[in-house]
Amino acid sequence: MKKTLLALLTLLPLAAAQEIQPINPSPTTPSTPGTVEPLTPVSSQPVNVPMPSAQPSTLSGVNATLSAPLALKGKATLVLTLKSTLKNDLALAANRDNRQNCAFAPSIRVLKFGTREVVYPDGSGNAMLCAQDMKTDTLKAGGSLRYTRTLELSAGEYMIEGWYQGLAGDNRVKIGAQPVKVTVK
C-alpha cells in the first residue's frame, strides 16, 4: 500500500508539469466523420521535473526527543518533541499512517526489552485503511513542536522508538529520537 502511494506521489509532479493544450483539426484539412486526425506532440523540449527522493533524509538543524514515564500502568503517553535551531520557520506536513492506527505523528515502534520482538505496530500486515489527508504545522525558527501518542501496553518492559516522518518544506524527512525504556506494571 505504501509503495503504491509513493508511486502515485512521485507521478503527481510529472502530471502537473505537462502542458495540456486542446487538439484542433488543421484549418487546411477539414475533418470528415470517421476520420481520425493524427496527434502531434505538444512540445519537443524535454520537461525537467525534480523527482522526490524515495528514501527520507534527516534534517539538519532539527532534533527530536522522545519522552515517556519510566513506570506506568497500562496506557503510555508518549511525547515526541521537535526542536529547531534553524533561522527560518519550517513548514511540516505528515499524512496518516495505515500501520500506526491512522495517526499523523509521531511514528512509534515498541519492542519487548532485551529482544527484537515488535509489539507495536502489529506485524500481521493488516494495515488499516485511513483517510489520506495531511496535517500541517509550522516549526518556528528556534522553536519546538510536540506530538503525542497514547498506547495501551500489557505488563512488561519495553523499548520504545519514535520519529517524525513526513515533509519538511519540499523534502521528505525522517527525524528520529533516542529510544526510551519503560516498565508497565
pLDDT digits (tens, 9 = 90+) for 67-108: 998 888 878 899 999 999 999 999 999 988 888 888 888 999
Q: pLDDT at position 33, please?
A: 55
Q: Does 78 fall in a domain?
A: yes
Q: Does 46 fall in a domain?
A: no
| pLDDT average, residue stretch 119-140 | 84
Q: Does 74 fall in a domain?
A: yes
Q: pLDDT at position 125, please?
A: 66
Q: Does 6 fall in a domain?
A: no
CA distance linking residue 53 with residue 182, whole number of Å: 35
Q: Does 1 fall in a domain?
A: no
- Domain range spanning residue 107? 62-184
Q: Does 28 fall in a domain?
A: no
Residue 163: C-alpha distances to residues 28, 98, 160 (Å): 63, 16, 10
Q: pLDDT at position 100, please?
A: 87
CATH of the domain at 139: 2.60.40.2360
Q: pLDDT at position 162, please?
A: 95
Cβ–Cβ < 8 Å for 120, 161: no
Q: Does 169 fall in a domain?
A: yes
Q: pLDDT at position 166, please?
A: 93
| pLDDT average, residue stretch 45-67 | 67
Chain center to CA of 37: 44
Number of domains in the chain: 1
CA distance linking residue 99 with residue 40, whole number of Å: 45
